[in-house]
Structure 1
Amino acid sequence: MRFLILLQFISISIGTNQDDLPGHMQPIGSHRPPEESILVINSVPDPLEFYEKYMGTHTPVLMKGAIAGTPAVTKWINDEYLSDSFGEEPVDLEVGKKENRTGDTDETTMAEFLKRYKSEDIYLVNDMPMGMQQEWMVPRCLLCGGYTEYFNFCYIWFSSGGTKSVLHTDAYQNLHCLTSGIKEFVLIPPEYIEIIGPEHGLQGYYDIDVEKVNMTSHPGMMEVPWYYVRVEPGDCLFIPFNWIHHVASHGRNLGVNIWWSWFEFQRKKCPEDLSEVPPFMPLAQFKLRPEKQILAMFTDIARDDGYAYAEDLLATLPPEYDKETMLHVFDLLDPGCNGKLLVSKLLDDEFLEERYQVLRAFIEPSDIEDQYEDDMDDDGPISYNNNDDWDGDIQVPSEAEVNKFVKRYSREVDGEDRDVPTSHNEL
């Protein structure tokens, strides 16, 4: 397949007028009409049905009106309400509504953002502040069977409209819900990842200008089928792990997405009568567990003997990670394991959370040092990691930095998901 793409690229370069290339230097999706619609349903399935029909089969689905009538839809449409209720919450902004993954960021408060966002080229992209989690309702499709135990992150995306994401994949299962505005998604099946071409540094996104797709540098794009999805207020779109997507927003736009790791559905954790699952529960009732991505990552590479090996993880990562680095990562997770980690140890939630914090202090050390310097005052550092496994008093990095590491791993896995074990015996 790669050889055919190379031949196609050569023929394009030699004998084809670039203006004749379908979709060349036009917005993404201009190269051919979209496929028939993805599945659209007008109700929210119970957790077992959602797993069997959609998550378990890697099938995207749009659930119309899934969160209609919830506080986030009825109240968050009002800027004054957001300012009065959550104005003091700290938030991060991206400068520039057209995403490029290298742009500037800014730290402010929700109240300050609300004063600026209608007139400035800014975009709020932030972990959902704790104060808002009581009003964000998780729909019933995720409320039993194990989903909530594998919630990694919950992000809020807020702008005056006009945002454009890069073409990218997520290393997690993704439920994106909208409270106001319109979002238009381009979805591409994961089997076209290599056909499109190499990602930028294996970081889950492509160096493709979504407003002017260069078909000479990305000839594979001309062969890619795609789906168009329009998401309206109250709707929720499920995007399975590894589905390629681009999203554009229109009008005052506030969306929320929950990312969670792959897991094996546990029927015993649901009521016998699934109709007893409530329609919603506040996100505040659940703990976000970014460390669960570590369990999923090491389960993915576990051999039949139940161990994960450093050389297997190293084989999935870019060249900047060497054997010594991988041995150190394993030693941080399980001191003295010498590059051979018994994955069942990670099933202990307390152990997993503790070792995750240690691993966070290892990822992207230069960024951590910069953050450390920012936190210095006359009396020294305000806070620091004092773990014996790390040399130096260094500020622990954010989940986003750990997320980068995990995405680099996930994008090189062959795409065949393994069930996350639920007990030592399964290993």
Structure 2
Amino acid sequence: MHFIDVFTVWGLIITCSWLRICHGEDPPGHGQPLGKHLSPLGITLIGKFSTPSVFYEHFVKVGKPIFMKQALLNSEYPAFSKWNDYYFREKYGSIEVSVETSKKERRNQEPTSMPMADFLNIYKREDVYMVQRANEQMMEDIHVPVTLQCGGFQRVLQDAVVWFSSGNTRSVLHYDVLDNLLCVLEGMKEVLLINKTYSHLVEAHGFDQDGMYSRVDVDSVNMKQFPRLQKVPWYQARLQAGDCLYIPFRWYHQIKSAVGRNLALNIWFSHLWAFDQSDCDKHTQFNLTVPIKTFGVASPNEQVRSLFLEFFYGLEEVNKSSFFQMIPVEQKPLEELFAVIDKDKNSVLTWKELYLFDIDDAVRQFPNIFHSSILEKEKVRDESENIEENMDDDEADMTDEIDIPERKNDIPRSQMDNSDSKIIVDDITEHSELKSTIKVKVTPKDKVEEEKQVLEEKQDLKRKPTVTEDSKDTVLKENIKDKKHDEL
């Protein structure tokens, strides 16, 4: 009897081993929430709003996120201090707001609308999520931090969007073509970020190019349908009330909120390809925050300008020869546009000239130039991605692409007290470590910088958390450990 039991046990062991070999074990992260396949990388963290020049040079220019911990706690920010349910009902109760009827984002599901007072009556018990572009009344309570007050940032502010629920919201994994400053006013949000350099992995399977989002189930990832996600490094930030996070344009991200009243807002701004330091030098003092009405919201054509100027990124100035070579349209209208931009008539375009010409008037006069150049940019990027994908032999052999039915696309969610105390903005050095309606992708001009970022990220996987201090700032690099939250 004893020997029979032993043989039975060994038979079971051999059978189980055979099954694992023949049928394969589930890959890491399979059937789990997005991000469980690898440990996260840390994000640069500072304890205040970054200054404009440092923010641009170390984060916007190189495309890296930055976590501004408790930045709102040190400022008089009306939306942060006033926006409770009573205030909403009294001041904004009659405003029609856009409401999604599922806390788990569904891009094929149209939002509904209702007065904010009605939303306040139901949001604590129903599966609803207010995603509202701030109107004129709300703008009175929304401020722009010192980070975006000069250097050109203040001229490309595109929108502000309010995100309000009782928590447990989950977005799709997606990217935007606008830069994003996200601030949490109440509750907690967990943000998963993926560098745009991994587009060939993220977009390999089940990616909606028009909607700029992945169809992967963020609550339970099917790694057999999305096998290339297994190799994607990712960053993590957990934002609490008063925290702000810069999400670089074209970075993939997925956001979920903890259970409980959850309120956030974000400011969209077009990506800057050059920073105007002279604009900042004109000021000796800045308010820590100022009303967004101080600058106003830019024309949507500023985003067109940003896409157009990407052709010239990396050049100190643009002469006629470069201008004509970069833009894939006939020369005569290009000569006319060049003359419009070249204010000093020296046949060389400076970045100041490229950012100060009237973009609305130019789009009206030369619509074909802007339309054709942006389409050509997408074509070049798509061809570049195809080459990159074909070179990735190991991943290409893993599986064929899964056929997923097309779904109807909806419009992406983005459509987006003056402090008396003054502060002197010093020339500090910080040590480096929501969705838009326009679709455009990374061009080969980003490749050199992006390859450097990939190498840095691979090194970060092996690097222990470090703390760096200087006379002005403490910047923390940390890998935040996973822990289970209520919403999971």
Q: CA deviation at 1:192?
A: 1.1
Please report the TM-score for the alignment, with normalisation by the length of structure 1. 0.71
Match of 1:406 among 429, 438, 447: 438
Whole-Å separation in 1 of the counterparts to 2:38 and 2:447: 31
2:80 is matched by which residue type in structure 1?
V
Q: Among 294, 301, 307, which residue is 2:304 paired with?
A: 294
Deviation at 1:137? Answer: 1.6
Structure 2 CA distance for aligned equivalents of residues 222 and 67 of structure 1: 36
Residue equivalent to 1:416: 446
* Residues in 1 aligned to 2:85 and 2:365: alpha-carbon distance in whole angstroms: 40
Map of 2:257 onto structure 1:
249
User: Retained in 2: the 8 A contact 1:291–1:352?
Assistant: no
Deviations 1:194-214 (CA, angstroms, capped at 9, x unpaired): 112343134321111101111
- 1:261 pairs with 2:270: yes
Deviation digits for residues 145-195 of structure 1, max 9, x if unmatched? 110101112111111111101111110111000101100011112211111
Distance in 2, Cα, partners of 1:307 & 1:268: 29
2:133 touches 2:414 (CA, 8 Å); kept in 1?
no
Provide the rounded CA distance (Å) in 1 between the counterparts of 2:86 and 2:54. 39
Mean CA deviation greater in 297-306 or 278-287: 297-306
Match of 2:12 in 1: none
AA aligned opposite 1:147: F
Q: How does 1:129-148 map to 2 (within 5 A)?
A: 129-148=135-154
Counterpart for residue 323 of structure 2: 305
The alignment status of 1:203 with 2:211, answered yes or no, reads: yes
Deviation of the 1:411 alpha carbon: 2.2
Instruction: Summarize the alignment of residues 113-192 of structure 1 with structure 2, pairs less than 5 Å apart.
Output: 113-192=119-198
The alpha carbon displacement at 1:100 in A equals 2.3
In structure 2, how many angstroms separate the alpha carbons of the residues matched to 1:341 and 1:207?
Answer: 41
The answer to whether the aligner puts 1:65 opposite 2:70 as a matched pair is yes
Deviation, structure 1 residue 17: 3.9
Q: In 2 relative to 1, CA 309–357 (structure 1 residues): closer, same or farther, beyond 3 Å?
A: closer
CA RMSD, 1 decimal? 3.3
**Displacement of 1:412:** 5.3
Do the aligned partners of 2:143 and 2:290 also contact (CA within 8 Å) in 1? yes
Q: For residues 9-88 of structure 1, what are the structure 2 equivalents within 5 Å?
A: 17=23, 19-35=25-41, 37-68=42-73, 69-76=76-83, 78-88=84-94
CA distance 1:307–1:103, shift in 2 (3 Å): farther
Deviation string 1:53-77 (CA, Å, 9 cap, x unpaired) is: 211221111101212242211111x
Give the Cα separation in 2 of the matches to 1:52 and 1:192: 23
**Alpha-carbon distance change, 259 to 141 in structure 1, aligned in 2, over 3 angstroms:** same
Q: Output one character per residue of 1:65-123: Cα deviation in whole Å (capped at 9) or x when no partner.
A: 212242211111x2011110111222211121111211121122222221121122111
Q: Bigger shift: 177-186 or 59-68?
A: 59-68
* 304 and 356 in structure 1: CA distance in 2 versus 1, 3 angstrom threshold: closer
What's 1:395 paired with? none
Tell me, yes or no, if structure 1 residue 284 matches structure 2 residue 290. no
Q: Return the index of the structure with the highest Cα Rg.
A: 2
CA–CA distance in structure 1, aligned partners of residues 339 and 235 of structure 2: 38
Measure the CA separation in 2 of the matches of 1:357 and 1:114. 44
Alpha-carbon distance between aligned partners in 2 of 1:239 and 1:103, rounded to the nearest angstrom: 25
Give the count of matched residue pairs.
Answer: 338
Change (3 A) 1:288 1:65: same
- List runs of 5+ in structure 2 lacking aligned partners: 1-19, 313-320, 342-353, 369-412, 417-434, 449-488
TM score, norm. by length of structure 2? 0.63
- Tell me the secondary structure at the aligned position of residue 126 of structure 1: strand
Secondary structure of the 2:209 match is helix
Tell me the secondary structure at the aligned position of residue 94 of structure 2. Answer: coil
Q: State the AA in 2 paired with 1:411.
A: K
Please tell me the residue identity of whatever aligns with 2:128.
I
Deviation (angstroms), 1:233: 0.7
CA distance in 1, matches of 2:215, 2:445: 21
Say if 2:133 and 2:415, in contact at 8 Å, map to a contact too.
Answer: no
Structure 1 pair 223/16, CA: closer, same or farther in 2 (3 Å)?
A: farther
- Whether contact under 8 Å (2:161, 2:414) holds in the other structure is no
Q: How far 1:52 moved relative to its partner?
A: 1.3
Tell me if structure 2 keeps the 8 A contact 1:18–1:216: no
Equivalent-residue separation in structure 1 for 2:447 and 2:337 (angstroms):
20
Residue of structure 1 equivalent to 2:245: 237
Structure 2 CA distance, aligned partners of 1:126 and 1:417? 35
Cα 1:161–1:404 shift into 2, 3 Å:
closer
Residue 305 of structure 1 aligns to a residue in which SS? Answer: helix
Aligned residues of 2:305 and 2:359 also touching (Cα < 8 A): no
| Contact map agreement 2:176 2:436 (CA 8 A) in 1 | no
Structure 1 residues 16, 96: closer, same or farther in 2, change over 3 A? farther
Q: Report the Cα distance in structure 1 between the residues aligned to 2:415 and 2:27, rounded to whole angstroms.
A: 38
Relative contact order (C-alpha < 8 Å, sep 6+): which is higher? Answer: 2
Instruction: Give 3-state SS (helix, strand or coil) of 1:27's partner.
Output: coil
Q: Is the 8 A contact 1:261 1:293 kept in 2?
A: yes
Identity of aligned residues (%): 33
